[in-house]
Amino acid sequence: MRLSAPRWHRGTVRAWFEPASEDPGVLPGGGGMVGGMPEPESTVLQHVDLEGHPATQDLYFRYDWADSRKLALLASADRSLHIDGGMTLSFGTYFNSFYSSYWSECTSVSRVELRLRLAGRGAIKVFWQTNETSVALLGRFGFNSDTATTVRIPLRDIDGVACTTGRVWFNVETFDDCTLYGGEWVTPDPPPRRVRPSVVVCTFNRVEYLGRIMRALADRKDVYEEISRFYIVNQGEPFGLTDLVSDTSEDFVDRIHVIEQENLGGCGGFTRGMYETLRDRSLTHVLLLDDDVRLHPESLFRAIRFMGYAHDDVVLGGHMLDLVKPRELYEAGADFDPENLIPRPHGQGEELYNPDTLEMFLKVRRVDYNGWWFFMVATSVIRDVGLPMPCFIRGDDMEYGARLAREGRKTIPVPGIAVWHEPFYLKLGSWHYYFEVRNRLTMASLHRNGDLKAVISKIRRRFHFDAMLSRYNSCQFAIDALRDYLKGPEGVFDTSNRALLRCLEQQKAIGPRRVEASPTATSRRFGSYRKLASLWLIPILRLARIVLPVSSRPALVVQSGRDQLVAWRPLVFDRYRVVELHDRSVWEFERDPKLERRQFIEFERLVRKVKYKFGEEVVDRSAGIPWLGWWSRQFER
């Protein structure tokens, strides 16, 4: 990346450094050291985050240890950062950049200031990047103090123009040993509204995961004080608050409300939290959070402050980072394929520790929907567009995103606001697929979006792909989804767990079968020539699979999430075993010609009947707010 000034700066950008003047409280160009002076009234937008775990440290700050042989170490007691002399630390990272474009375009913030509390002798460099080819040095600010002193740096260029595009960050250069005690990006602009949010977590027998979230929050008083209510919607075995947190302040515990209800799926759990939030007129926003995330507490703080300034049409989404590869982005929101409605995630696999990757966040990106691992919306928006479509699980966030967009709301995934979540590639397709197919067809019918023929074509391709892999459970889930969709509203708007229990029983009967080990299995790896040869053979082999009897050849061994698990590899084998990457469990799939023929005939029979079954006329508006009456009857019975 080339370091240069923007076109209107070149030849005029000034850099300055005053290591030790007689009056260290004054610096050229608008920066200043305020020492023990009281801070002017302002609102913190985001903290300089010093929470970095060693595995993810370069998402917070970065330095070249191999070059300097010096260290920057976090103190657990006060979360300060001790920096050896003679180092340069960059905070131009995923979690510590300030993304000016998002605050400028999506909120009413117009003035921002960086405040840092440091001790020692060194300098702060502030950078501003507005496009992929140019980085401007806004200034170099010296500090020299034996005790913690606050340095204030307004985000303005040399002409006094506010930095309203791109992203801004700072580096710390140390001449002697220094300590960074913390810092904030603040604004003197008053927020247009006071945000009193609820945080909603829907859980089902995941007390250990939930406890991890609660302990992370309890450790950040500055974060949980921003949360008015914490609704835990429990749909599994009962538990007590002592199972989640202990030795915690009453102020934190008093904010927690546990709601016990029958298993209505993730949709029913999140909707219950939204429903309870609407009933409490003192609450202004709701933040949905998955129960199995690794929480980044600062993200909650940032989201709440962002929504305090956000324009009325903005809905906030958090990024999903890969829990297995914690420095990689898994999804920053997604768009629908305009024809088949398959979601296309943004940024999947991007290496967030690479500063060049952050250039994808220089401009604001609006998406069709954001997953509910982290999603924040105003109660006024919910009263306008309604509660989620009843669907038990899978697709509630997508349908809601489509509805928000239709009503003129903008879903904005904000960089630097994120959680870690187990990636979806770790698990084999299972009963979730029934709900994916049923709910995708329902969304297409309800909103008349997408091309129904393209949607069906995608489902058909997936059906034959699964059949070639002997995934008869997945084929059956597609058949059942089509059958229930064809029943109309009474078949799809169902939040009971009846369909789930049916899927589990079918999977137990049809397979795959879990095995303890694979002592007789033969591991195979194929070259590209075999793949090319198989492309034209697939139709012939597909027919052969339905006709020929099953042989007794040993099983092929492949791994979930790897390129070996594609149809042309196990297609020529009558049985194969898959080793799941996340828990090393082994599943055996076996060809069943009779079942394959029966499923093929039934699937094609149902496909010929599929059409748009209903439209918006089926939405329950009896309580004024879409779906509120329907959900009220579920929750109040």
- Per-residue pLDDT reduced to its tens digit, 48-98: 999 868 899 999 999 987 766 789 999 878 889 999 999 999 999 999 999
User: Average pLDDT, whole number, for the chain?
Assistant: 87
- Nearest-Å Rg of the Cα atoms of the chain is 28
C-alpha span between 129 and 169 (Å, rounded): 9
The pTM score is: 0.89
pLDDT at 108 over 70: yes
Give mean pLDDT, residues 488-497.
Answer: 93
Q: What is the CATH number of domain 197-426?
A: 3.90.550.60
Contact 331, 345 (CB under 8 A): yes
Contact 443, 369 (CB under 8 A): no
What pLDDT band is residue 223 in, cutting at 50, 70 and 90? very high
Q: Residue 580's pLDDT is what?
A: 73
- Lowest-confidence region among 495-499, 518-522, 568-572: 518-522
Return the DSSP state at 426: G
Q: What is the pLDDT of residue 12?
A: 26
DSSP state of 558: E
Q: Please report which residue ranges of 81-151 form alpha helices under DSSP H.
A: 100-106
8 A C-beta contact, residue 153 and residue 31:
yes
Structure tokens at 547: 């006709």
Tell me the average pLDDT across 573-590: 77
- DSSP string for 494-507: --SSHHHHHHHHHH
The CATH fold of domain 28-187: Spore Coat Polysaccharide Biosynthesis Protein SpsA; Chain A (3.90.550)
Using the predicted structure, report yes or no on whether residue 25 has a pLDDT greater than 50. Answer: no
pLDDT in tens, 321-336: 999 999 999 999 999 9
**Which of 374-378, 462-466, 530-534 has the largest mean confidence?**
374-378
Q: Answer yes or no: is pLDDT of 9 > 70.
A: no
**pLDDT for residue 110:** 94
DSSP conformation letters of 304-368: HHHHHHB-TTEEEEEEEEESSSTTBEEES-EEE-TTT--EEESSTT-BTTSGGGGGGGSS---BS
Lowest-confidence pick of 210-224, 363-377, 399-413, 558-572: 558-572
| Selection from 36, 34, 125, 118 nearest residue 81 by Cα | 118
Domain with CATH 3.90.550.60 in the chain: 28-187, 197-426
- Burial class from Cβ neighbours inside 10 Å (0-12, 13-18, 19+) for residue 412 reads buried
Q: What is the predicted pLDDT for the residue at 424? A: 85
CB 117 within 8 A of CB 150: yes
Q: What is the mean pLDDT of residues 142-147?
A: 95
For the stretch 254-289, pLDDT in tens is 999 999 999 999 999 999 999 999 999 999 999 999
- Distance (Å, rounded) from C-alpha 107 to C-alpha 547? 63
By the 10 Å C-beta count (0-12 exposed, 13-18 middle, 19+ buried), 153 is classed as buried
